[in-house]
Structure 1
Amino acid sequence: MSDADVIIAGGGLVGASLALALGGTGRRVAVVEPLAPSAEAQPSFDDRQTALAPTSRRFLEALGLWEALQDEAGPITEIHVSDRGGFGFTRLTAAAEGLPALGHVVPNRALGAVLGPALAEAEHVSLYCPAEVAGVRRLRDRVEVSLSGEGAPATMSAPLLVVADGMRSATREAIGVGLRERPYGQTAIIANLRTEYPLRGRAFERFTPDGPLAVLPLADDAASLVWTLPGEQADAVAALPEPEFLARLQQAFGWRLGRLQAVGERHCYPLTAVIAERFSAERAAIIGNAAHALHPVAGQGLNLALRDVAALAELIAEPGDPGDAERLARFERERRGDYRRTFVFTDGLVRLFSNRWPPLALLRNVGLTALDLVPPARRFLLQQATGRAGRLPRLSRGLPLAREAP
Structure 2
Amino acid sequence: MSSDHSYDVLIAGGGLVGASLAVALRGSGLAVAVVEPVPPQSDGQPSFDERHTALAPTSRRFFTNLGLWSAIEPGVEPIQRIHVSDRGHGGFTRLSAEAEGLPALGHVAPNRVLGAALRPAMAEAASLYCPARIIDSHPQYAADGDDEAARMIGRKVRITTDAGEQTLTTRLLVVADGVQSATREALGIHTQTRDYGQSAIIANVRAELAHNGVAYERFTPEGPLAVLPASAGSVSIVWPLATDDARAMAEDASDAAFLERLQQAFGWRLGRLEAVGERHVYPLKAVTAEAFAIDRAVILGNAAHALHPVGGQGLNLALRDVAALADGLSGGGDPGDDARLAAYAQSRQSDYRRTFGFTDGLVRLFSNASPPLAAIRNIGLTALDLCPPARRLLLKQGTGAAGELPPLCRD
* TM-score interval (norm. to shorter): over 0.9
Moved more, 9-18 or 137-146: 137-146
Cα 1:52–1:247, aligned 2, differ >3 Å: closer, same or farther? same
**Residue 75 (structure 1) shift:** 0.4
Aligned position for 1:331: 344
Do structure 1's residue 213 and structure 2's residue 225 form an aligned pair?
A: yes
- The code of the aligned residue for 1:217 comes to P
Q: Considering only aligned residues, what root-mean-square deviation do their CA atoms show, in Å?
A: 1.1
User: Paired residue for 1:250, among 250, 259, 263?
Assistant: 263
**Residue 319 (structure 1) shift:** 1.9
- Is the Cα–Cα contact under 8 Å of residues 38 and 112 in structure 1 kept in the other structure? no
Do structure 1's residue 203 and structure 2's residue 218 form an aligned pair?
A: no
Aligned position for 2:7: 4
Cα 1:27–1:153, aligned 2, differ >3 Å: closer, same or farther? farther
Aligned position for 1:376: 389
Do structure 1's residue 309 and structure 2's residue 322 form an aligned pair?
A: yes
Aligned position for 1:126: 127
- Is the Cα–Cα contact under 8 Å of residues 75 and 219 in structure 1 kept in the other structure? no
User: Paired residue for 1:158, among 170, 175, 179?
Assistant: 170
Deviations 1:168-226 (A, max 9, x none): 11111121111111110011011101111100100111000111111100122111011
**Residue 151 (structure 1) shift:** 4.8
- Is the Cα–Cα contact under 8 Å of residues 355 and 361 in structure 1 kept in the other structure? yes
User: Paired residue for 1:92, among 92, 95, 118?
Assistant: 95
**Residue 237 (structure 1) shift:** 2.0
- Between the aligned partners of 2:105 and 2:165, the Cα distance in structure 1 is 45
Cα 1:151–1:334, aligned 2, differ >3 Å: closer, same or farther? farther
**Residue 150 (structure 1) shift:** 2.7
- The code of the aligned residue for 2:278 comes to E
In the superposition, the TM-score normalised over structure 1's length comes to 0.96
Aligned position for 1:188: 200
Aligned position for 2:147: none
- Between the aligned partners of 1:32 and 1:314, the Cα distance in structure 2 is 22
Deviations 1:242-300 (A, max 9, x none): 11111111111111111111111111111011000100001111000010100001100
Deviations 1:115-167 (A, max 9, x none): 11122222xx2111111211111131111111111357621112111011111
- Between the aligned partners of 2:277 and 2:255, the Cα distance in structure 1 is 9
Where 2:99 maps in the other structure, the secondary structure is helix
- The code of the aligned residue for 1:340 comes to R
Please show how residues 28-67 of structure 1 align to structure 2 within 5 Å. 28-67=31-70
User: Paired residue for 2:335, among 322, 328, 331?
Assistant: 322
Structure 1 consecutive aligned stretches of length 4 or more whose deviation exceeds 3 Å? none
- Between the aligned partners of 2:42 and 2:349, the Cα distance in structure 1 is 33
Aligned position for 2:373: 360
Where 1:97 maps in the other structure, the secondary structure is coil
- Between the aligned partners of 1:135 and 1:249, the Cα distance in structure 2 is 45
- Is the Cα–Cα contact under 8 Å of residues 37 and 113 in structure 1 kept in the other structure? no
How many correspondences in the alignment?
396
- Between the aligned partners of 2:164 and 2:406, the Cα distance in structure 1 is 33
- The code of the aligned residue for 1:218 comes to A
- The code of the aligned residue for 2:33 comes to A
Q: Which runs of no fewer than 5 residues in structure 2 stay unpaired?
A: 141-151
Deviations 1:74-104 (A, max 9, x none): 0001000000011100101111111111110
Do structure 1's residue 24 and structure 2's residue 32 form an aligned pair?
A: no
- Between the aligned partners of 2:241 and 2:158, the Cα distance in structure 1 is 42
- Between the aligned partners of 1:29 and 1:67, the Cα distance in structure 2 is 24
Aligned position for 2:149: none
Aligned position for 1:404: none
Do structure 1's residue 283 and structure 2's residue 296 form an aligned pair?
A: yes
Cα 1:151–1:66, aligned 2, differ >3 Å: closer, same or farther? farther
- Between the aligned partners of 1:377 and 1:333, the Cα distance in structure 2 is 29
Where 2:44 maps in the other structure, the secondary structure is coil
- Between the aligned partners of 2:208 and 2:72, the Cα distance in structure 1 is 27
Where 2:265 maps in the other structure, the secondary structure is helix
- The code of the aligned residue for 1:273 comes to A
- Between the aligned partners of 1:131 and 1:308, the Cα distance in structure 2 is 25
Cα 1:304–1:152, aligned 2, differ >3 Å: closer, same or farther? farther
- The code of the aligned residue for 2:356 comes to F
